[in-house]
Amino acid sequence: MSEAAARWTPPAVAVVLAVALAVVIGVTTPWHLIGLPPADPALDFTAAEIARQNAFRHELLPWSTTSWVLSVLVPLVIGFSPIGRHLYDVIRSRRWWVAVPLLVAGLGLLTSVVTVPTDVMAERVSRKYGLSVQDWGLWTRDRAVNWLLMSLALAVIAVGLIGLAKRWRTWWWLPAAIAGAVLVLGVSFAYPVLVEPRFNEFTSMPAGAQRDDFMKLAADDGVPVRDVLVADASKRTTALNAYVSGFGSTRRLVVYDTLLRDAPPAQVRLVVAHELGHAAEDDVLHGTLIGVLGSAFAVLLLKLLLGARMSDPRRTALLLAMIVAGTTLAAPVQNLVSRRIEARADYHSLRLTADPRNFVALHHHLAVTNISGLDPRRWRYWMFASHPTSPERIAMGRAWGDEQGTPVPPLVRR
């Protein structure tokens, strides 16, 4: 192939992928659902609830934020400085495909060790407030499994990219982009059966009126659900949650055992209706499609930034730093899209149950139990909030109730 083609194809493909990504995100994201009044925590949360929430976050956030900053800074400093190459030389394996995974695992371990003190402090705050109920054994085990899975995933990516770049010095990005897309597809499909069982045990929800009700709700909604699974979340936390993951034959509706134990049935029903909303709108599939395009785009960015240097295993730390920088910069966009998709699932749960009163009660209950931020700072909201805040969700429930002629009075009498 000509030199001009080798030179101009990557930027052209990058532009095409960026446009495709923007179009898919633009088309699959529900930008508008219903006109919303401003969120107002004081309508539904007592002064004591708001004070407890503020106190918790005041104690927690210095530690958790420091952990987050460190986990981003450590790989960036090592990767964008000569330290990364020196560390690679220290390993001194003659086989690059041995040295690269070792370096990846080592850097992951270093990052994990550096954040131990702040993570321990954050965990202690969570326990003090009764949110976390796990012991240090389980905490350490989760950390180790996390490190192992992350190292494995990043080692596969690094060895794959370097290997392809060694084989095809100019056109490595083409097979890499295709392999990346296939990998995202495979991981999204296999995640519920490969990764989730490493952290929790899942059992079929026992037969009974509540399970029958969920299956009927799913059938009414036109969403085929083969089973409702219960996760043993109570070994770690008192937080309430449910989710849908996988697609096709691995699609599953999972509820935390804490939710079944601690929430009134009418509220659990609304949570299930929210999750059915994700299934009905194929949110996992759309997310996967965005992931496929995003990973291909990321490969093209690497090609444009690194070029033939991709084949040099001494740049492994630089590659990791770029991955960390890329995922951190993408987070606000990801969260923006996620919040809109979550709002649509909320909207779906309102239409399916026609129960705005319990919807408001549920989101009040979730916020109090999970001690979630009622009015986080803007940068936190953009950087971390994958869901609308509880007062925002409650505002939607009210707007829907008003629209249907069933207004929901504030929970707090004033």
Stretch that binds Zn ion, among 25-33, 57-65, 343-351, 389-397 (CB under 5 A): 343-351
The 82-121 contact track toward Zn ion, x by CB under 5 A, reads ----------------------------------------
As beta bridge partners, residue 237 has: 132
Q: How many CB atoms lie within 10 A of CB 94?
A: 6
Query: What are the residues whose beta carbons fall under 8 Å from the beta carbon of 371, sequence distance 6 or more?
Result: 52, 53, 56, 57, 129, 131
Instruction: Indicate whether 279 belongs to the interface with Zn ion (CB under 5 A).
Output: no
The 201-240 contact track toward Zn ion, x by CB under 5 A, reads ----------------------------------------
Stretch that binds Zn ion, among 142-150, 151-159, 182-190, 344-352 (CB under 5 A): 344-352
Stretch that binds Zn ion, among 160-168, 257-265, 323-331, 334-342 (CB under 5 A): 334-342
Stretch that binds Zn ion, among 62-70, 190-198, 249-257, 335-343 (CB under 5 A): 335-343
Query: Could you please report the per-residue DSSP string of 87-145?
Result: HHHHH--S-HHHHHHHHHHHHHHHHHHHTHHHHHHHHHHHHHTTSB---HHHHHHHHHH
Minimum CB–partner distance for residue 270 and Zn ion (Å):
12
Q: How many CB atoms lie within 10 A of CB 69?
A: 12
The 3-state secondary structure of 192-243 reads HHHCHHHCCCEEECCCCHHHHHHHHHHHHHCCCCCCEEEECHHHCECCCCEE
339 versus 398: smaller Cβ distance to Zn ion: 339
Q: How buried is residue 208: exposed, middle or buried, by Cβ count under 10 Å (0-12/13-18/19+)?
A: exposed
Helix, strand counts (H, E) of the chain: 15, 4
Minimum CB–partner distance for residue 44 and Zn ion (Å):
20
134 versus 334: smaller Cβ distance to Zn ion: 334
Instruction: Indicate whether 244 belongs to the interface with Zn ion (CB under 5 A).
Output: no
Residues 42 and 50: beta-carbon distance below 8 Å: yes
Minimum CB–partner distance for residue 346 and Zn ion (Å):
8
Dihedral of alpha carbons 253, 257, 261, 263, sign: negative
Minimum CB–partner distance for residue 229 and Zn ion (Å):
16
Minimum CB–partner distance for residue 366 and Zn ion (Å):
11
Minimum CB–partner distance for residue 348 and Zn ion (Å):
10
Chain-centre distance of CA 194, in angstroms?
A: 17
99 versus 343: smaller Cβ distance to Zn ion: 343
Q: Which of 150, 146, 179, 147 is nearest to 162 (CA)?
A: 179
The pair of structure tokens assigned to 267 is 């509220």
Minimum CB–partner distance for residue 272 and Zn ion (Å):
11
Residue 35 to residue 351: CA distance in whole angstroms: 16
Instruction: Indicate whether 345 belongs to the interface with Zn ion (CB under 5 A).
Output: yes
Minimum CB–partner distance for residue 110 and Zn ion (Å):
34
123 versus 342: smaller Cβ distance to Zn ion: 342
108 versus 277: smaller Cβ distance to Zn ion: 277
Phi, then psi, of 231 in degrees rounded to 5: -95, 140
Minimum CB–partner distance for residue 281 and Zn ion (Å):
10
Q: Judged by CB under 5 A, how many residues of this single chain contact Zn ion?
A: 2
Give the footprint of Zn ion on this chain (CB under 5 A): 342, 345
